[in-house]
Amino acid sequence: MEIEQTIFTIITYSGDAKNLFMKAIKLARENDFELARSCLEQAEAKLDQAHQRQAQLIQLESAGQKIEPTVLLVHGQDHLMTAMLMKDMAEEFIKLYSRLNSV
């Protein structure tokens, strides 16, 4: 797979994951915890796909292929890291909303 295409795939999967994590937070705020957890699972699957593509790039570089640090690559990494942060935040918000709902 071409490097640029791999980067765009990272951006796509990461963006999808971030959107699903945000949807999960909104659903938890609305006390729909079952659907919020379902969104979490879907988002984690997207995040896993992004990680797999990132791993492909790392393997290429480890095998000696030079990966140029382009703005596109940095953008892809930014999307991935933001999605990873959103995962942590979504999990915490869902726990918080669940706890508030039980009071």
Q: How far apart are CA 34 and CA 67, in angstroms?
A: 42
Task: Residue 79: give the domain boundaries.
Answer: 3-102
- Over residues 9-54, the pLDDT tens digits come to 999 999 999 999 999 999 999 999 999 999 999 999 999 999 999 9
Neighbour-count burial of 64, counting CB atoms closer than 10 A to its CB (0-12 exposed, 13-18 middle, 19+ buried) = exposed
Q: What is the helix (H) or strand (E) element at residue 41, kind and residue range?
A: helix 33-62
For residue 8 the two structure tokens come to: 């765009």
Res 103: pLDDT: 74
- Over residues 77-94, the pLDDT tens digits come to 999 999 999 999 999 999
Please say if the pLDDT value at position 102 is more than 90: no
Total domains in the chain come to: 1
pTM of the shown model: 0.92
Q: Are 55 and 39 in contact (CB under 8 A)?
A: no
- Residue environment code for 6-29, b if the CB has 16+ CB neighbours within 10 A, otherwise e: bbebbbbbbbbbbebbbbbbebbe
- Catalytic residue numbers, as ranges: 75
CATH of the domain at 48: 1.20.58.80
